[in-house]
Amino acid sequence: MELSIINKEGKESSKKAKLSDSIYKIEPNDHAIYLDVKQFLANQRQGTSKSKERAEITGSTRKIKKQKGTGTARAGSIKSPLFRGGGTVFGPRPRDYSFKLNKKLKKLARKSALSYKVKEGQLQVIEEIQLDAPKTKAVAQSIGKMGNIEKKTLIVVSDLNKNLYLSSRNLQGVKVVTASEINTYDIMNAKSVLLSEGSIEKIETLLS
């Protein structure tokens, strides 16, 4: 499969990029995408929420009223969950939400996500973006000429490009990642995926 390479002016150049059918043209596996996205979001959770149960509340353990004859329910402790300031019943405790997925399944999920983007016409190959200094305006203009200024855009570069990263981090909805950092969530979350020329070979090495 071949795609025309888009230049900085947002126009198709004479150059073509060859994309592997085994990565960008497979039958997408929805369940693999679901599991990979679920794992990614689970890994973002801190899992540090905690509430005190009745054994952890500071307070007296004396019996607050006599057992019988009050006309109300018996009560043994002010720390009971039934009273204001008492402990929480089955409250949250610190926990690890992460879980394991096989490498083959994660590769399949990323291939499926990229195949969806190609099928929906939301994947483009662009020329390498070279900046001498961080300049948000220059990146915004380039993305705008490609028709992506109002869309969530994922830019995939071959190697860390500090100037591009600094230039794009103030643009709402624009995210820059290296080829080795791409994940299923970012691909599916973006309305437009822009692959730099140099990133194609690295993605194929990563997912083949």
Domains and CATH numbers, the chain: 2-45+101-207 (3.40.1370.10), 49-96 (no CATH)
Q: What is the pLDDT of residue 162?
A: 86
Q: What is the pLDDT of residue 144?
A: 81
Q: Which residues does the chain have with pLDDT short of 50?
A: none
DSSP 58-121: -S--S--S-SSSSSS-----TTSTTSTT-PPTT------------HHHHHHHHHHHHHHHHHTT
Q: What is the pLDDT of residue 26?
A: 92
